[in-house]
Amino acid sequence: MSKRILAAACAAATALTLSACISPSTSNGGSSKDGKLTVMASFYPLQYLAEKIGGEHVSVTSLTPEGAEPHDLELSPKMVDSLSSADAVIYLAGFQSAVDEAIEQQAPKTVIDVSSAAKLVEAGTDANHPSEDEEDATDEAQSGETEAHDHDHEGADHADHDHHHDMSADPHFWLDPTRMANAATLVGDKLAEADSAHADTYKANAKALAEDLNALSDTLVTKTSTCKVKTFVTAHTAFGYLADRTGLTQVGISGLDPESSPSPARLAEIAQIAKEQGVTTIFTEALIDPKVAQTLADDLGITTAVLDPIESQTDASKDYAATMNSNIDALTKALDCQ
């Protein structure tokens, strides 16, 4: 559109659409014209919390594009700019370094870091939360060792190996609905502080959501309490907190980061565990090429099914809770639970 046409269009624009005619840096973010609190969430589960708790009083944008994988997020300069005018930003410190850096640069008014509520577990602490570059993590699963690994001496090597993942904790807290409930309470309290006019609504919504999430956690635990198979093989190691909650053991084909790929030795090891543990299903996920999982399943003569790590909303008709319920169904089927 030429400048002249744009100017004409803007002259004709009503007050409601006028913001589109101002410079790009002010058209994105900031208190919107309809009086809603503008909230930026760094990836889908946090967007879900913001939308459920904020309801009609917030306008929520996700920094991770819909259907994209949040681990290796890169932000456009425009997205970085938009943070400075957002009323609130919700993120998980240490998970997406581009977001950490942008928040530091732009200093948004209200910054909500859910990591305290998420109670992250240090990577390498146990079999369900292996460190990224350890291929022998499942040895621990088999021997039951829970030795903590010292990460300090391998810091340089680690950074080299995976520059965008400087977190030494397992980030995937949202796959434990109890941790999500704790994050909901935190987000409710912080939104109430940021927008005191609607504080009561935010707190009430957060309370109701936390109750729903705790009920979902109870369902997860109850339905997986009678499983004959106790080990589940996943595409990437996203389900450690779910495994902890249910007492199951996760074996990830890729590590905590979905981009890490397994060595042939590691694949042989996973196949061995799958045989020993009576695994019936290799789980895949929408945002990872299922080829490795499919080959593994074919070699073992077993099936594949989807277990969604809910890192993005891959199906617009299914929100966090609906997807988690699908995950519970997939697990109970694969693990032969009564």
Q: Terminus-to-terminus CA distance in the chain, angstroms?
A: 62
- The C-alpha atoms of residue 238 and residue 171 are separated, in whole angstroms, by 8
Give me the least distance between CB of 280 and Zn ion, in Å please: 24
Closest CB to Zn ion among 48 and 202? Answer: 48
Identify the CA nearest to 295 among candidates 264, 317, 257, 331.
264
Q: How far is the CB of 225 from Zn ion (least distance, A)?
A: 26
Handedness of CA 316, 81, 166, 176 (dihedral sign): negative
CB nearer Zn ion, residue 44 or residue 202 = 44
In the complex with Zn ion, the residue whose CB is nearer, 90 or 238, is 238
CB of 293 to Zn ion, least distance (A): 15
Query: Least distance in Å: CB of 311 to Zn ion?
Result: 5
Q: Nearest approach, Cβ of 309 to Zn ion (angstroms)?
A: 5
Shortest Cβ 116–Zn ion spacing (Å): 20
Size of the site for Zn ion (CB under 5 A): 1
Q: Nearer to Zn ion by C-beta: 53 or 238? A: 238
Q: What string marks each residue from 216 to 255 as x (binds Zn ion by CB under 5 A) or -?
A: ----------------------x-----------------
* Strands lying side by side in the sheet with 88-91: 58-62, 37-41, 88-91, 110-113
Which residues 25-84 are close enough to bind Zn ion by CB under 5 A?
none
Tell me which residue has its CB nearest to Zn ion.
238
Q: Please, how many CA atoms are within 13 Å of residue 304, restricted to the half-sphere of its CB?
A: 19
175 touching Zn ion, by CB under 5 A: no
Q: Which helix (H) or strand (E) holds 127?
A: none
Tell me whether residue 126 or residue 285 sits nearer to Zn ion (CB atom). 285
Residue 297 CB, nearest approach to Zn ion (Å): 21
What are the start-end ranges of the E strands in 11-119? 37-41, 58-62, 88-91, 110-113
Q: Render 247-316 in DSSP notation, one character per residue.
A: T-EEEEEE-SSTT----HHHHHHHHHHHHHTT--EEEE-TTS-THHHHHHHHHHT-EEEE----SS-SST
Q: Give the per-residue contact string, 294-313, with Zn ion (x = CB under 5 A; - = no).
A: --------------------
- Taking the least distance from each CB to Zn ion, the nearer of 127 and 238 is 238
How far apart, in whole angstroms, are the C-alpha atoms of residue 174 and residue 235?
17
Binding site for Zn ion (CB under 5 A): 238
